[in-house]
Amino acid sequence: MEITYRKADISESFTIAELYNEFLCDLRDIGKDIYFDFEELSVNDRVKLLEARFNADKGLVVVAEVEGEIVGFISMTIINCFMIVSSIKDIGYIEAGYVKPDYRRLGITTKLENMVEEFLKNKGIKYLELFTLMNNEIANNSWSMLGFIPFRQQWRKNLNE
């Protein structure tokens, strides 16, 4: 099986948005998090987000393709560092990364993440961040193997209890 890796084209926004929704449904099913309380997801909402990445100098969407089918993607953007007093001003931020289950464990995420790294290095960006849910072992293991390390925790309190 030959896997092709490339920068996505804006004309593929709808197809990638469908994958993005698969990603969100997986997060809902794996995490059982109260924030993922949706039944149906609008593909058009994801299309708008992706198109903003295509139209910005600070965004990138990369895809993996097998026989003309997009089987994985990473969407990223450049954002301000959360620590406003830091000398680090801009960081890369992976908003979403997903590979269809049948194509996992083939190194696809590694190749896509390498493309993102190269894009950021060419822009002088020194750090790349993302978030995962604490109980998403697949994602946590994958990103850890790619050299990502946890460096902060985010906490939540239910004000209705």
Does some domain include residue 131?
A: yes
* pLDDT tens, position by position, 92-149: 999 999 999 999 999 999 999 999 999 999 999 999 999 988 888 888 999 999 999 9
Does some domain include residue 151?
A: no
Structure tokens at 29: 């099913």
Does some domain include residue 52?
A: yes
* pLDDT tens, position by position, 85-95: 888 889 999 99
Structure tokens at 101: 């289950």
- Can you give the residue range of the structural domain that contains 139? 3-145
Supply the pLDDT for residue 112.
98
> Which residues make beta-bridge pairs with 91?
79
The packing angle between helices 43-54 and 13-31, to 10°, is: 120
Does some domain include residue 41?
A: yes
Number of structural domains in the chain:
1
Which CATH number goes with the domain that contains 60?
A: 3.40.630.30
Residue type, 58: K
* pLDDT tens, position by position, 21-76: 998 888 888 877 888 888 778 888 889 888 888 877 889 999 999 999 999 999 99
